[in-house]
């Protein structure tokens, strides 16, 4: 029996005549789109940066919102061993006489922001399509300014939990809006750099929060924990100014049938000396063609459409890819200080190691850029999960030893775990979720994937504090064995379901998904999304075979 991976893949896609029924001069639009697509596929990194350096700049600046969010979300978890925070909010542990934050309250503090984030995510999916990414971004920044008052002036754990929920509402908007914008304004060859950079923004924020909390350890008053919250007000006003002058997403403008504005936006995002008005027109023509193709495949841009027809598979993949970030065992990094303390290290040593731990977000993301230039998204994701499962197995085994060497080794391995995470699945996740959804449903697909992450975050926020807390399960490093099994199962899922999206235009991905190409054959399947031969169908075969054509 022949191997299924050696059999030719025949793909039939819709005739251009049907796609262009409601579009004037559609034959010319398709020709312009084909020229733009061919130019984008052959563009070098250097050439792409020279032409699209404005788009890169705007994407980088707007993504700074995630520096703010990375700082805000993680700073609360760094307080659990901080003396000033424990003095205000801690509860006496009857066994030791020391103050601590009980595991249920730790779960509440983490999960309140996650719950608020889910609401914010769903609002963003609707608002960014209704009002545009730029206006949604600006409005949410103003909301963030008001929300920060809550944690700054909280006097009880109850008030702090409520305040974190309100902040999470606006953080949810930034989590996905910046990813969608980065994926829409840059060409294929730069797409993975800009979307992976989002992970670095998180890393900058997390590292910054670690440094601020470490610097405030000697402050014994309420300002020891209040000052890190106050610093959150640094971000919104500069980012509001950036968003005010930023170009709107041309893809969103095309979906709103504002073609001239889309062409103007492309001109603002490119170098006029190297990218002419005719080039801009062709680029927008490609967006028009891709949007028409997706309208032919599926009707509607609601959340319900994400779970219908061919979009169901795309949504499922995006949701599971994002959930796998936590299923990989990375959630232990968010509890790094507590992990180090429970492993037997002193408070100062734990905070110092936490700085090294969080620096891996930046180092790992830079490493991911190198890896993404040589390997596919699917390959890196599976390799990352497999590597992390092995590291978790060793951490879990070291948990059975009480020696100082084992304690420091488990701490070092947690740092290695974070490096492996950020060099692979941490950064590559943002690349995959920005590419796997259709352009018409991209914002909502990313929103739903982040919702899956937040639901998993809530689950982890409940069980991880219990795993580490001395008053609950008290597993310590032994919990690595649990996450070893979960990460291994996640790697198996990704092999079966996550496709290779490297080097594909959005139109090509639409056709591959429409024709139900297996995940492991995405990379080797050829696609003709323009059908300039004017036939009603095109046969596309695996690269292992000689190419054939089929015209009706």
* pLDDT at site 4: 43
* pLDDT at site 134: 93
Cα–Cα distance measured from residue 163 to residue 157, given in angstroms and rounded to the nearest whole number: 10
* pLDDT at site 541: 40
* pLDDT at site 538: 41
pLDDT in tens, 259-289: 999 999 999 999 999 999 999 999 999 999 8
* pLDDT at site 259: 93
Q: What is the pLDDT along the chain (552 residues), one digit of tens a residue?
A: 344 444 545 454 545 555 555 666 777 888 898 899 899 989 999 999 999 999 999 999 999 888 887 887 777 777 777 888 888 888 887 777 778 888 788 878 878 888 888 899 889 888 998 999 999 999 999 999 999 999 999 989 999 999 989 998 898 888 788 888 998 998 999 999 999 998 898 888 888 887 888 888 888 888 988 998 999 898 899 999 999 999 999 999 998 999 999 999 999 999 999 999 999 999 999 999 888 877 776 666 788 889 988 899 999 999 999 999 999 988 887 666 667 776 667 777 777 777 888 888 899 999 999 999 999 999 999 999 999 999 999 989 988 887 888 878 888 888 898 999 999 999 999 999 999 998 888 889 999 998 999 889 888 878 887 887 777 788 878 888 999 999 999 999 999 999 999 989 898 898 899 888 999 999 888 887 777 654 443 434 444 433 333 333
Give the dihedral sign, CA 151/155/157/161.
negative
With a threshold of 0.75, does the pTM exceed it?
yes
pLDDT in tens, 500-533: 999 898 988 988 998 889 999 998 888 877 776 5
**In contact, 136 and 128? CB cutoff 8 Å:** yes
Q: Name the residue with tokens 């980088």.
A: 60
- Both tokens of 151, joined, read 């944690």
Residue 3, number of CB atoms within 10 A of its CB = 6
Nearest Cα neighbor of 451 from 307, 342, 353, 292 is 307
**In whole angstroms, how far apart are CA 309 and each of 301, 304, 314?**
13, 10, 10
Q: What is the CA radius of gyration of the chain?
A: 24
Quick one: which H or E segment has residue 82? Answer: none
**In whole angstroms, how far apart are CA 307 and each of 94, 156, 316, 329, 435?**
50, 41, 8, 28, 17
Nearest Cα neighbor of 509 from 425, 424, 440, 426 is 440
* pLDDT at site 537: 39
* pLDDT at site 2: 41
Nearest Cα neighbor of 232 from 263, 256, 209 is 209
Nearest Cα neighbor of 465 from 103, 154, 57 is 103
Q: Are strands 91-92 and 99-100 parallel, antiparallel or unpaired?
A: antiparallel
Under DSSP, is residue 517 helix (H, G, I), strand (E, B) or coil? coil
Domains, the chain, ordered by start: 43-246+298-512 (1.20.1250.20)
Long-range contacts from 374-380, C-beta under 8 angstroms, 24+ separation: 376/500, 376/502, 376/523, 377/192, 377/428, 377/431, 377/432, 377/435, 377/498, 377/500, 377/501, 377/502, 378/494, 378/498, 378/499, 378/500, 378/501, 378/519, 378/522, 378/523, 379/500, 380/424, 380/425, 380/428
């Amino acid at each position: 029996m022949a191997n299924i991976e050696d059999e030719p893949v025949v793909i039939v896609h819709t005739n251009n005549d049907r796609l262009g029924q409601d579009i004037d001069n559609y034959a010319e639009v398709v020709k312009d789109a084909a020229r733009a697509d061919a130019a984008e596929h052959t563009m070098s990194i250097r050439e792409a940066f020279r032409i699209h350096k404005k788009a890169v700049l705007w994407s980088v600046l707007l993504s700074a919102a995630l520096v703010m969010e990375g700082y805000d979300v993680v700073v609360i978890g760094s307080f659990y061993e901080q003396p000033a925070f424990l003095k205000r909010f801690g509860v006496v542990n009857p066994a030791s006489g020391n103050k601590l934050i009980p595991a249920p309250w730790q779960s509440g503090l983490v999960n309140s922001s996650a719950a608020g984030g889910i609401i914010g995510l769903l609002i963003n999916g609707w608002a960014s399509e209704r009002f545009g990414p730029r206006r949604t971004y600006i409005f949410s920044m103003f909301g963030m300014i008001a929300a920060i008052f809550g944690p700054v002036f909280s006097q009880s754990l109850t008030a702090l939990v409520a305040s974190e929920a309100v902040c999470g509402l606006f953080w949810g908007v930034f989590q996905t809006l910046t990813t969608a914008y980065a994926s829409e304004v840059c060409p294929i060859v730069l797409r993975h750099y800009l979307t992976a950079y989002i992970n670095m923004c998180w890393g900058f924020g997390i590292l910054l929060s670690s440094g601020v909390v470490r610097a405030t350890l000697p402050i014994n008053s309420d300002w020891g924990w209040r000052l890190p919250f106050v610093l959150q007000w640094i971000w919104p006003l500069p980012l509001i100014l950036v968003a005010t002058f930023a170009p709107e997403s041309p893809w969103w403008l095309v979906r709103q049938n504002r073609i001239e504005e889309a062409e103007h936006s492309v001109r603002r995002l490119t170098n006029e000396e190297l990218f002419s008005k005719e080039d801009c027109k062709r680029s927008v023509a490609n967006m028009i063609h891709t949007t028409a193709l997706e309208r032919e495949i599926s009707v509607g841009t609601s959340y319900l459409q994400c779970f219908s027809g061919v979009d169901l598979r795309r949504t499922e993949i995006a949701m599971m890819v994002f959930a796998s970030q936590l299923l990989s065992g990375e959630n232990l990094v968010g509890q790094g200080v507590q992990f180090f303390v429970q492993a037997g290290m002193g408070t100062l040593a734990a905070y110092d190691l936490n700085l090294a731990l969080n620096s891996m977000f930046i180092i790992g993301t830079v490493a991911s850029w190198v890896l993404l230039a040589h390997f596919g998204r699917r390959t890196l994701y599976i390799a990352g999960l497999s590597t992390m499962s092995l590291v978790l197995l060793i951490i879990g085994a070291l948990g059975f030893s009480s020696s100082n060497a084992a304690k420091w080794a488990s701490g070092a391995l947690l740092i290695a775990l974070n490096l492996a995470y950020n060099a692979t699945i941490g950064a590559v996740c943002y690349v995959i979720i920005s590419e796997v959804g259709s352009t018409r449903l991209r914002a909502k697909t990313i929103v739903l994937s982040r919702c899956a992450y937040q639901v998993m975050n809530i689950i982890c926020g409940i069980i991880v504090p219990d795993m580490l807390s001395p008053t609950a399960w008290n597993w310590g490093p032994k919990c690595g064995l649990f996450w070893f099994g979960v990460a291994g199962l996640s790697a198996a899922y990704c092999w079966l379901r996550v496709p290779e999206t490297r080097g594909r235009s959005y139109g090509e991905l639409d056709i591959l998904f429409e024709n139900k190409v297996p995940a492991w054959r995405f990379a080797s399947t050829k696609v003709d999304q323009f059908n300039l031969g004017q036939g009603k169908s095109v046969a596309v075969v695996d690269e292992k075979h000689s190419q054939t054509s089929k015209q009706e």
